[in-house]
Each structure stands twice: as C-alpha cells, then as structure tokens.
C-alpha cells in the first residue's frame, strides 16, 4: 500500500515537472525567433529587446533558462507581464477568488446531482431510469456556453433575478454573480457524471457478489451501500476527476459569457494579447490543479479497493 | 402470442421498438444537418455575410425568416452556412483523434511492457490538457484559426479514445486465437491487421461516434472564445459569442438559435452513438 | 410425503431473453424432495436446468424469469413469501454456495467483514461476538490461521480457501438445507476432495440437508445419498447415488457414465454420446434425448415425453428403461498395452529436449516480495511418437511449461529444443516462429476463445494451411475439406462463423487448424476440460484416432488422471514447478512413488469412499426404489 502511495506521489511530481517543461518550451516551438514572437505587434527598440532578453534569459542555454524559470516559480517570482507593467502574480491574484468560487460551486452541483441521479437510474425501475437517461443525453449536448446564453437571457436579462455581468464585491457579491455561471457549467458536467455513474453502478449490480449478498438475505439497501456503491466508487471517482477537468476548462468560457473578470478571462485576453508570461503561468496553474485533484482521487480510490494498490505499485 | 420454435415465444415489447425509433430519428436529424451544410448555397435565401444595417435586429419576416443579427445579416443563412464548419471541423478532428488513438492504443496493447508503460504515461499527460486549454495554448503559440483549433481539439481527444481502445485491444490480445496465430507463425503485423484490428473495430467505431458529440462541443467552445473559425465566416460557436452583446440588450435570437443548433446536433450524435454502443454490446 | 424438508412440485420456468423478443423454456416440470439431513445430487450437463432449479429454491432468479409450480419448505410455499419472510428464509433456513468463490465475494471487503455481515444478517449480535463466532466458523472449515484470514482480502487467498470461506458463511446461520452449485468444479482435485470431506463431516455433525449440483457422477456417489439426473429441463432418473453404476435405467445416465475415461484402465475407444446436450427450449416433441439415444424407437419421437416411472431397480423416464440395462456393461475392449520401454532409453535423439528450464516472474512494485518461480529447473525428454501427459494442479507450472514449449513464453534459464531447433531465452522472431510452426502446434483449453470470431472456420483452417508453405492455391479448398473430415467435421460447416458452432465442434476446428502445418508435436492444454462430459469422449476419441493415423507426438496437459490413463503412454507429474514423478502411465498410476502422486490418486472421486447409503444397505431391491422414488 505504501509503495503505491509513494509511487503515485512521485508520479505527480514527475508529471508536474514534465508539464512545466512542455509549457516552458512551447514558446520555443513558435516559428521564428522567440524575440520576434515576444515583440510582435509592439515597439521593438533596443531597450525593449534588451529588457525581454534579460527577462527571458534568451542569451543563455535552454536548461539554465528552464532552471531559472523553475526556481523563480518556487520563490514566488512568476515573471513580468509583457503587456502590463506589473508582475504576473499581481494580475492573477485578485481574480482568483471569483474563479475558484465558480469552479467549486459548479463541482459541488455536478457531483451532488450527477452521482445521485446516476445511482438512482441504475438502481430503480425502468421508468425513472429512462427518464434520467433521456435527461442526461440531452444535458450532455448542452455545452456551457450555450447554457450560459440561455440562462443569461432568461434569468438575468428578462427576469432580472441575477446580475448580468461583472464580479460583484465581497464573497456574497461574488456568489451572486457566479451562481448562473455555475449552473451553466454544471448542466453538461452533471449529465456526463450521471451517465458514467449509471454505467458503473449497473455494471456492479450485475456482478456475482451481489448474488451472494442476496442469497445470504442481506437487506437490499445494505447491499447497495456497502457493496455496490463501494465497488463502483473507483470508477465514479475517476469520472469525477475527468469531469472536474472539464469544468476547469469550460469555466473559461463561462467567464467570458457572463462578463466575469476572473483568471479564465485573463487567460483568454492574454492569449489574444500574446502576453506569454501570463499565459504560461496560468496554464501551469490549471494543469497543476488537475493533477493534484487527480492524485487525491487516486489515493482515495486506493483506500476503497485494495487491488488498486497492487496495480498502482506495479505500473 | 405466437410460437416460433418449440419452447420459444414471441413477445411484442414496446421499449425495444421505441429505442430504435429514437435512434433513427437522431440519424435523420444528422442527415438533415449534413444536407443543410452541403446545400447551404442553394438553401440560404441570402449571402450570410451581406450586411444591411437597416435591418439590424429585425424580427422574423418573409425576407429574413429567422430575423437578422446586429449587423443585419440574415440569421437563417448564417445558420445554414454555419453547419459547414460545425460538421467539417469535428469530422476532421475525430478522424485525426481516432487514427492516432488507434495506432497508439494497438501498439501499446501489442508490444506491452515498456512501450505500454511509456505510452500510458504519455496518455496520462495528455489527459491533463483538456481540449479547451490545449486550444488556448496552441492558439497562443501558433495563432488562432480553424486548422489549429482542429489540431488542438483532435489531439486533446486522443487519450479518451485511446484508453478505451487499449483496454479492448489488450482483452483481444490475450485471447487464445491471437496466441494461436503466433504459434502458427503468422508475422506480427499480419496478426494485427487480419485478426486484432477487425475485432477491435466495433469498439473503434463506437468511440468515434461517441466522441463526435464531445468534439462538436469543444470546437464550438473554441470558436466561442474567438480562437477557432474567424469572423466573418459563419459558425455556430462564434455566433453564440457574437450574439452575446445583442443578448444583453434584449435580442437573444442569434445566441439562442445558434445554441439550439449546437444542442440538437450534439444530442443527435450522442443518441445515435449510444444506440450503436448498445448494439455492439448486445452482439458480444 | 408431508414430512419432507423441501419439496419441489411441478416446477416450470421460462426466461425472457434480453435484447430479443424471445421467451425460452428452461424447466419443463421438476419434482423433487429432500428429507432433513439427506444429501441429494442433481446431475446434469449444460442446459439441463440444474442450476436454475437450485436457484429457484432461494428465489435467486434473473429478471424476466417466470416460474410456475410450487416449492415448499417445511410446508411453506416459497414463491408465496413476502419480502420479510424471504429475507428471513434466506438468512436462516437455506443457504447457498456457488461455483466460482472468487467472483462471488466482494473484492473490496475482507473475509472478516464478509463473515461478520453474514452473521449479523441472520440475527442481532454485537460486532465483537460476531467476530469471534466468525473465527470459530473458519476453524470449523479447517482454515489454518483463522485469525489472520479475517483481515485478508479475497485476492490474497487461493480458490480452495475462498470456497471454504463461502461454506463457512453459508453455515453461519445453522441452516437446515445447503444448496451447493458445482462447488468444486473450479477447484483443484486435491482441494475438491478436501472440500467434499469437510462438507460430509459438517453435514453429519449438524444433520444438514444438501442439494449438490454436479456434472460428475462419481462425485455425486461420494458426496450424496441420492441422485436425480436432469436432461433438457426435466428429471430423467432418480436413484440411490451409490447404486447408479450398477442399477441406472435411463440411457442418458448410462451413456454419461460410459463416456467417462476410467482411471483403472484404458479403453480402446470411448463410448461418447453423439450430438450435444440440449436445453429445454431446444427439445423436440417427444423424448428430448431421442436423437442421441442408442435405444430409440418410433414411439420415443411420436408420443409425449415419458414420465418418471418406477422400475424394478430404479426410477426413470424412458419407454425402454427395461432394455437399458443391457447398455450398462460397455462393450469397449481394453486398449492394447502401451509400449513397455520406459522413456529415455531409445538410441535416437529425443524429439523434444527440455534441459534445466526455469521460468521466474519478477514481482514488480514491491521491495520485499520474492520472485515467483513457476517452473523450477525442469528437465525431461520426449521421444518421437510418444504421448506424454503433464499432470498437475494450479500453480504446478504445467501451463507455463506448455507455453514455453510452443514459444509463447521464454524460459528464464535453460534450453528447449524441438526437433533440433534450439531455443534459449531470446524472444522468437518471425522466421523462428515460422520454422517452429512446422514442428510444434498447440490446442487451447477454451474452445470459445480459440477461434477468431470474425473469421469463418474454413478460412481459419485455410489460413493455417497457407502459412505452412502450401504454394498450390487451387488445392487449398480441397485440403481444407480433408482436414475437416479428418477431425470428424462436416465440410458444410466451413462457411460458418464460430458462434454458430458448439463447443465440441469448435474444438475440432482448433485441432484441424493445429494439424494443418503437419507438426511433429501437438501440445494440448486441457483441451477437453471446458467441454461437457458426453462431448469430452468424442474429442478424446478423435485425438486417439489422429495419433494413430498421423503418427504425431502428443504433449497433453491435464489435471484429470482418468484422461491421462486414456490418452497418454508416459506421464510427468508436476508440483510447485518441479517434477514430482515421471514414468510410464501404467507404472505411475498403479505404483506411485511419491506422496504427492499418491494424494492425487486418492483424490480422484472414483477412488473415494462413497457416501454411506445406510438406508439402502442390505435392502431388497423393491425397497430401494421406494427410497429412490421419494425424491
């Protein structure tokens, strides 16, 4: 068991390193010289070139540059924005709360609704199963930006229950602005969760150990909780991880639709403005978040199914 | 109830006919969209890019059957033309993802050992880059556009497809008929081509159909952010975002119609894909 | 009989087939009785309905199953119970043990969790009490170190241990009746003997009644007092278990017994039953067994199926049961004595040489775990024309050995040479494999997975022919037909896909394919273990005939010593990766030199003491049928 945990954590660190390398070096994949890319569309006088060269350590070799980049990360130096005269962190920091709130709320809604409905569909009769399947099939087809348009139009513009754009101030204000967006995100994510949960639970329900439980006279509620759901848990957790990634990615879109000024819209605008240092840091933050969440999920799954420890240890 | 063979009885069962009818409806919808895309120039009443500021935001009339957008362009025409990138993009992306995914998955399953572990790791890495994020990264590096968005979304879809195919390929690889072919002296490539791939093919097709829905959504989202199909080309995803400002002013038509189109197509593909998957399962 | 513990009356059942509109009959009227403390065997092959009969006693039926008739437990109707009564019935009165214990246990729960849960389901008790009771139960089924087992998971334990855990959990509530659905089929033969012994002991201790489902007539004699034989959804014979060999009356029962190879002697030719066992819904009008029966007359097909009736020495459902007795003494001659010279003494070089071969698996992912040694420094030779059997239980290394012989696995050390082609540790390249294909081929155990489902059987055989270097394209179809005839298949089947063939037919195709390159050696890895008993004999006969006609050398992997006697001249007994004993079949089976071989021989059901049919000992025969007719 310990071996599996250690291995998984090492994997996490290794993957983070590789990803940071990938993100870092994507700058160098760009056709043309990095300098030309970095100064495209902006004044390119000698002073600016010198500044950029210094900032990106372009006169050094690749790996020392990478090392400087990495160590900079650890010291909290995330670089300077190329567009604004500020440090990257000062651009990101104020926008984090609203983004985190949006993601957290959407995830909560997705997991609560997704797992519950998925389990209900798999365990109850044909009628409710069919209803839930239909609902989730449609839900999967309602992407976050489309749902945003509808929700915005109905609840914000027409009914006026929620604000149309902006961040709001303070936690309550943020929440108010983020609710519609979280629902927009949750619709297709929850539908996806419903489908995956349903198939995982259905699969377990058909297994032979359920036969044994029935033959021993176990009450069906107990069989479901203690056996079926427990065995389905690793698949459901994995599905949750995938869905979470989807939410994190789509929230960028939702921020754009609802005019929320969060880390997501910063990412989009930085891409447009070619503010590469901001893009780099944000992408790394996103990816790091997914990976940490996935590692946590894997570790939780370990506790549930002891055979996974062997599998993880031998990978 | 009639009796067919001795001991069997034929039952009419509604749910079964029902699911087939639904699947065929979905198929019909898909066909409709394909027709719209292919014959858009013939079906559209106007040039989708023709500006006519006088008619901006007009309600549905005989001339503009679905109304016009903020710049007076006919919505119906734009929706019809928008079907083209909506179908072309995902088709290319799914083909790319399927080919790459199948090659990688089969190689991983066949060679096993180190190759399998390395490939699995790479796939895990790719899992961490959802389509949207990869598209953003690619756009930042190589610039926005239709081609780059297809590449990004296609590559981001690879791990999802590859994972399922790999599981199935490993399952088949272990079966005695493959091992028997090895002992018969058949070269590895021939075994893969003649025996392994045909048996993995149903899974591949099912995954392709299922992926279609997700890829349509992802590409539309990329266009929504302005990183895919560029203006002024009509595209449902960018139409939703272009319609954003109109929506806030009380004219939600553009965004809503375009959203509706996307939703309908994705649902149709999902329903169809589910039915295909169920049929494959039943055959086993 | 009103005092029967369990009575099944007129049980009929049909099942909805998911994904189609059919409803199929699976049971066509079953009547049984079990008295308190008595063991009844339910004998049958696939499709007989034996499993469903047992499951219906606990109402453990699949969705879409419709039942008619009645099942009475101590006079109470089981189909009529409400949910609360049913739960109480299942948790206290009747218990069940299934065929594959590993699949039937929740992999995420420890053995202790499982037992405690079972105990607390039948009555309220505090955890601590349940825990210690559970340890006691493990001890009752002779599990070593029970305390430790409580905290282990199913994947850490062997099949035999798991089955004992299942039995322990089944006996926890001290039920009156135990249903055992092929409880030992998935286990090694020595473990099987142990489990049967445990069951017999526990039964006598607790006056436990048992319904024991099996396809093995010998096992039924060992474990049970009475037996009922099922075919195509009906009971066709009822008899006292120990009297079956001498007094069976139904041609099917007799045919089943006659088709088995015997441990004591080799028959020149086994007497299989033609065709394959039918399910209830496939049964034609009239007697379901008619098409396979040696005694069939017009009446059998025209009249309705014969009911069970009492005969002088048995209870059977056959119009010609009186004449069936003649079938009891099979006319098979003993086979001529196999070659008398012990292996390894001929002057010519051996066809197969295995020298100091080991196969070691590195246990990855754990710092402390020792490597797994599947095959440990094994050496032996096989002469041309010999038929060698490699016998062993699970973990003996016999399968690894077979796979190394054909090149599917590489030895970690040592060399194998087949007809002069040396193979060491390196992976076989394409050219090597092509060369090896002409020397040695393999037939696998599972007939359902041995053929490419997307290839017609004719194409599969033709492909094998082409690979072996046949250059004459036009001659291929003819040669394919010839091969099919050789294994006893109708050439019409060439255009069929595997899913349209029966297990026995698929296995014949697999044999034909393996013989296409005309190999010197044919390795057969448990080729009949997955087939029904009546079909096993067909395949064994085909193999014997092929050996005579083609002069091919066999290496036969099996766990069944009777099969060894029937097909092999020399035998290699493997145990924990090493060779325990080697020699001529006649010598090893009659005069074993090692304890392990002796234990193996003693575990064969036909060598085990039969259940004390105390009631029938010394009874005159009319009273025997009283006893038989009861169930």
Burial level of C345, CB count in 10 A (0-12/13-18/19+)?
A: exposed
Same fold, C1-74+215-333+611-631 and C352-568: yes
Burial level of B2, CB count in 10 A (0-12/13-18/19+)?
A: exposed
Cα–Cα distance, C403 to C410 (Å, whole number): 8
Tokens of B112: 């096993």
Give, as one character, the DSSP assignment of residue C468: T
Among B176, B178, B201, B202, which would you mutate to test the C interface (most chain C Cβ atoms within 10 Å of its Cβ)?
A: B176
Q: What is the distance in angstroms between the CA of the first residue and the CA of the last residue of chain C?
A: 10
Cα–Cα distance, C535 to C278 (Å, whole number): 12
Give, as one character, the DSSP assignment of residue B62: S
Cβ-proximal residues to B184 (8 Å cutoff; 6+ apart), any chain: C437, C441, C463, C464, C467, C513, C517
Counting one residue from A and one from B, how many pairs have CB atoms under 8 Å apart? 138
Nearest CA in chain A to C87: A217
Hey, is C61 helix, strand or coil? coil
Buried residues in C58-85 as b, exposed as e (16+ CB within 10 A): bbbeeeebebebebbbeeeebeebeeee
Chain C residues with CB-CB distance to B under 8 A?
Answer: 14, 16, 19, 21-25, 280-285, 406-408, 430, 433-438, 440-442, 444-446, 449-455, 463-464, 467-468, 510, 513-514, 517
| CA A144 centroid distance within chain | 14
Query: Which of the other chains make 3 or more beta carbon contacts under 8 angstroms with chain B?
Result: A, C
A65 contacts A56 by C-beta, under 8 angstroms? yes
Task: Quote the pTM value.
Answer: 0.86
Contacts of B217 in chain A (CB under 8 A): 141, 143, 188
Q: What are phi and psi of B117, to 5 degrees?
A: -65, -40
Q: List C-alpha distances in Å: A34 to A21, A28, A131, A223, B133.
A: 16, 6, 55, 61, 22
The 10s digit of each residue's pLDDT in C225-280 is 999 999 999 999 999 998 888 888 899 999 999 888 888 888 888 888 888 899 99
Q: B140, A137: Cβ pair inside 8 Å?
A: no
- Can you give the three-state secondary structure of C86-153, one letter per residue? HHHHHHHHEEEECCCCCCCCCCCCCHHHHHHHHHHHHCCCCHHHHHHHHHHHHHHCCCCCHHHHHCCC
User: Looking at the domain C1-74+215-333+611-631, which fold is it?
Assistant: Rossmann fold (3.40.50)
Burial level of C306, CB count in 10 A (0-12/13-18/19+)?
A: buried
- Of all residues in chain C, the percent with pLDDT exceeding 70 is 91
B191 contacts B182 by C-beta, under 8 angstroms? yes
Would the pLDDT of C13 be above 90? yes
- The pLDDT, as a whole number, for residue C615 is 46
- The pLDDT, as a whole number, for residue C467 is 84
Cβ-proximal residues to B134 (8 Å cutoff; 6+ apart), any chain: B152, B153, B155, B156
Cα–Cα distance, A3 to A310 (Å, whole number): 9
pLDDT interval class at C294 (50, 70, 90): confident
Q: C155, A307: Cβ pair inside 8 Å?
A: yes
For domain C352-568, the CATH architecture is: 3-Layer(aba) Sandwich (3.40)
Counting one residue from A and one from C, how many pairs have CB atoms under 8 Å apart? 82
Q: Any bridge partners for residue C211, and if so which?
A: C40, C179
A208 closest CB neighbour out of C86, C104, C153: C104
Would the pLDDT of C5 be above 70? yes
Place of tokens 């926890």: C172
Q: C106, A231: Cβ pair inside 8 Å?
A: yes
Cα–Cα distance, C158 to C164 (Å, whole number): 10
Select from C464, C437, C39 the least CA-distant residue to C223: C39
Q: Average pLDDT in the C520-543 region?
A: 92
A212 closest CB neighbour out of C86, C104, C365: C104
Buried residues in C459-468 as b, exposed as e (16+ CB within 10 A): bbbbbbbbbb
Q: Count of CB atoms within 10 A of residue C217's CB?
A: 23
Query: Which sign, positive or negative, has the C-alpha torsion C401, C405, C406, C407?
Result: positive
Minimum distance, in Å, between the CA of residue A314 and any CA atom of chain C: 4
The 10s digit of each residue's pLDDT in C66-107 is 999 999 999 899 999 999 999 999 989 999 999 999 999 999
Q: B183, C407: Cβ pair inside 8 Å?
A: yes
Minimum distance, in Å, between the CA of residue A98 and any CA atom of chain C: 40
Tell me whether the omega of the peptide bond preceding residue B232 falls within 30 degrees of 0, making it cis: yes
Q: C430, B185: Cβ pair inside 8 Å?
A: yes
Please check whether residue B145 touches A, CB under 8 A: no
- Please report, in tens digits, the pLDDT of each residue of chain A (315 residues total): 777 888 888 888 888 888 888 777 776 666 655 566 666 655 566 776 777 666 666 666 677 777 777 777 776 666 667 667 677 788 888 888 889 989 999 999 999 999 999 999 998 888 889 899 989 988 988 988 888 888 888 887 777 777 777 777 777 777 778 888 899 999 999 999 999 999 999 999 989 999 999 999 888 888 888 899 999 999 999 899 989 988 998 888 888 888 888 888 888 888 777 777 788 888 888 888 888 888 899 888 888 888 887 777 766
| CA A311 centroid distance within chain | 26
- The ipTM (two decimal places) reads 0.84
Cβ-proximal residues to B284 (8 Å cutoff; 6+ apart), any chain: none
Q: What are phi and psi of C422, to 5 degrees?
A: -85, 145
The full set of domain ranges for chain C reads: 1-74+215-333+611-631, 352-568
Average pLDDT by stretches of 10, chain B with 284 residues: 41 56 88 88 78 70 75 82 89 95 94 88 84 81 83 92 93 92 89 93 88 89 83 84 80 85 90 83 68
């Amino acid at each position: 068991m310990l071996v599996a945990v250690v291995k998984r954590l090492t994997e996490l660190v290794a993957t983070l390193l590789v990803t940071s390398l990938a993100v870092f070096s994507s700058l160098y994949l760009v056709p043309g010289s990095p300098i030309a890319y970095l100064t495209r569309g902006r004044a390119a006088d000698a002073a600016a070139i010198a500044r950029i060269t210094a900032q990106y350590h372009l006169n050094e070799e690749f790996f020392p540059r990478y090392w400087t980049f990495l160590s900079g990360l650890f010291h909290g130096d995330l670089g300077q924005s190329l567009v604004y005269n500020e440090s990257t962190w000062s651009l990101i920091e104020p926008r984090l709360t609203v983004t985190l709130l949006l993601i957290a709320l959407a995830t909560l809604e997705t997991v609560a609704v997704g797992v519950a409905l998925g389990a209900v569909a798999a365990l109850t009769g044909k009628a409710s199963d069919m209803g839930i399947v239909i609902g989730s099939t449609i839900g999967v087809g309602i992407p976050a930006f489309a749902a945003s348009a509808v929700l915005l139009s109905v609840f914000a513009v027409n009914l006026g229950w929620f604000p149309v754009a902006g961040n709001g101030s303070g936690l309550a204000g943020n929440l108010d602005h983020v609710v519609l967006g979280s629902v927009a995100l949750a619709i297709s994510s929850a539908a996806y969760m419903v489908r995956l949960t349903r198939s995982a639970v259905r699969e377990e329900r058909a297994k032979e150990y359920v036969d044994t439980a029935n033959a021993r006279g176990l009450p069906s509620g107990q069989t479901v909780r203690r056996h079926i759901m427990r065995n389905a848990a690793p698949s459901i957790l994995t599905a949750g991880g995938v869905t979470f990634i989807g939410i994190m990615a789509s929230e960028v879109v939702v921020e754009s639709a609802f005019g929320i000024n969060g880390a997501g819209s910063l990412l989009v605008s930085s891409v447009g403005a070619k503010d590469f240092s901001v893009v780099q840091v944000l992408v790394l933050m996103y990816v790091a978040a997914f990976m940490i969440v996935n590692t946590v999920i894997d570790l939780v799954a370990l506790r549930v199914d002891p055979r996974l420890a062997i599998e993880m240890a031998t990978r | 109830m009639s009796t067919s063979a001795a001991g069997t009885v034929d039952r009419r069962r509604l749910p079964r006919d029902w699911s087939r009818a639904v699947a065929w409806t979905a198929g019909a919808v898909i066909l409709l969209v394909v027709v719209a895309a292919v014959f858009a120039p013939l079906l559209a009443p106007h040039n989708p890019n023709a500006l006519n500021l006088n008619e901006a935001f007009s309600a549905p009339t005989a001339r503009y059957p679905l109304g016009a957008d903020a710049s007076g362009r006919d919505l119906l025409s734009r929706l019809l033309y928008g079907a083209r990138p909506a179908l072309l993009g995902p088709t290319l992306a799914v083909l790319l993802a399927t080919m790459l995914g199948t090659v990688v998955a089969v190689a991983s399953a066949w060679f096993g050992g180190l190759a399998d572990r390395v490939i699995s790791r790479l796939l895990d890495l790719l899992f961490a880059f959802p389509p949207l994020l990869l598209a953003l990264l690619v756009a930042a590096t190589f610039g926005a556009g239709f081609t780059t968005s297809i590449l990004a979304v296609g590559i981001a879809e690879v791990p999802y497809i590859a994972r399922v195919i790999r599981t199935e390929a490993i399952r088949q690889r272990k079966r005695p008929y493959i091992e028997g072919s090895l002992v018969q002296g058949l070269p590895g490539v021939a075994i893969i081509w003649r025996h392994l791939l045909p048996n993995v093919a149903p899974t591949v097709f099912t995954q392709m159909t299922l992926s279609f829905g997700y890829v349509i959504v992802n590409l539309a989202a990329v266009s929504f952010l302005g990183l895919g199909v560029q203006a002024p080309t009509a595209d449902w995803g960018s139409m939703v975002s272009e319609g954003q400002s109109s929506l806030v002013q009380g004219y939600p038509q553009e965004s809503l119609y375009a959203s509706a189109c996307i939703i309908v197509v994705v649902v149709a593909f999902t329903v169809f894909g589910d039915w295909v998957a169920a049929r494959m399962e039943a055959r086993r | 009989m009103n005092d029967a513990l369990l009575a099944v009356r007129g049980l009929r059942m049909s099942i909805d087939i998911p994904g189609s509109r059919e409803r199929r009959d699976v049971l066509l009227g079953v009547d049984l009785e079990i008295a308190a403390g008595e063991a009844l065997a339910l004998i049958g092959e696939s499709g007989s309905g034996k499993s469903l009969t047992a499951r219906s006693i606990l109402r453990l039926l699949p969705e879409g199953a419709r039942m008619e008739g009645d099942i009475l437990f101590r006079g109470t109707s089981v189909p009529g119970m409400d949910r609360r009564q049913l739960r109480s019935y299942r948790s206290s009165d009747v218990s069940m043990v299934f065929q594959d214990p590993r699949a039937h246990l929740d992999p995420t729960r420890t053995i202790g969790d499982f037992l405690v849960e079972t105990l607390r389901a039948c009555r309220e008790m505090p955890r601590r009490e349940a825990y210690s009771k559970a340890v006691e139960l493990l001890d009752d089924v002779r599990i070593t170190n029970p305390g430790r087992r409580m905290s282990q998971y199913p994947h850490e334990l062997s099949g035999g241990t798991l089955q004992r855990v299942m039995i322990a959990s089944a006996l926890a509530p001290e039920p009156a009746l135990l249903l055992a659905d092929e409880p030992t089929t998935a286990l090694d033969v020595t473990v099987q003997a142990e489990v049967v012994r445990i069951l017999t002991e526990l039964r006598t201790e607790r006056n436990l009644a048992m319904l024991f489902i099996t396809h093995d007539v010998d096992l039924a004699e060992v474990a049970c007092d009475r037996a009922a034989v099922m075919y195509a959804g009906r009971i066709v014979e009822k008899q006292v278990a120990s009297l079956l060999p001498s007094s069976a009356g139904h041609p099917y029962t007799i045919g089943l017994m006659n088709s088995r190879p015997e441990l004591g002697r080799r028959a020149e030719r086994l007497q299989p039953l033609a065709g394959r066992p039918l399910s209830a819904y496939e049964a034609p009008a009239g007697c379901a067994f008619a098409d396979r029966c040696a005694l069939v007359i017009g009446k059998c097909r025209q009249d309705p199926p014969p009911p069970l009736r009492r005969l002088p020495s048995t209870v059977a459902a056959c119009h010609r049961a009186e004449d069936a007795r003649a079938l009891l003494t099979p006319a098979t001659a003993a086979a001529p004595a196999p070659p008398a010279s012990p292996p390894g003494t001929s002057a010519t070089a051996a066809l197969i040489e295995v020298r100091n071969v080991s196969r070691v698996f590195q246990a990855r992912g754990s710092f402390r775990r020792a490597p797994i040694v599947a095959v440990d420094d094994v050496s032996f030779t096989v002469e041309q024309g010999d038929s060698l059997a490699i016998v062993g239980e699970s973990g003996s290394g016999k399968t690894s050995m077979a796979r190394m012989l054909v090149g599917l696995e590489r030895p970690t050390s040592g060399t194998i040479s087949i007809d002069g082609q040396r193979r060491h540790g390196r992976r076989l390249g394409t050219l090597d494999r092509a060369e090896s294909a002409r020397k040695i081929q393999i037939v696998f155990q599972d007939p359902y997975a041995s053929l490419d489902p997307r290839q017609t059987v004719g194409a599969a055989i033709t492909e094998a022919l082409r690979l072996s270097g046949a250059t004459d394209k036009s001659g291929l179809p003819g040669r394919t037909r010839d091969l099919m005839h050789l294994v006893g298949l109708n050439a019409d089947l060439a255009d069929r896909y595997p899913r349209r063939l029966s297990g026995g037919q698929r296995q014949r195709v697999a044999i034909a394919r393996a013989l296409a390159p005309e190999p010197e050696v044919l390795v057969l890895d448990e080729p009949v273990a997955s087939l029904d008993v009546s079909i096993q004999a067909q395949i064994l006969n085909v193999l014997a005939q092929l050996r005579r006609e083609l002069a091919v050398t066999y290496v036969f992997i099996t766990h069944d010593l009777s099969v060894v006697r029937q097909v092999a001249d020399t035998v290699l007994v493997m145990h924990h990766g090493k060779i325990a004993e080697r020699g001529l079949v006649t010598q090893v089976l009659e005069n074993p030199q090692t304890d392990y071989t002796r234990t193996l021989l003693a575990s064969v059901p036909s060598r085990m003491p039969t259940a004390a049919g105390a009631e029938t000992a010394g009874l005159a025969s009319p009273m025997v049928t009283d006893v038989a007719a009861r169930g």
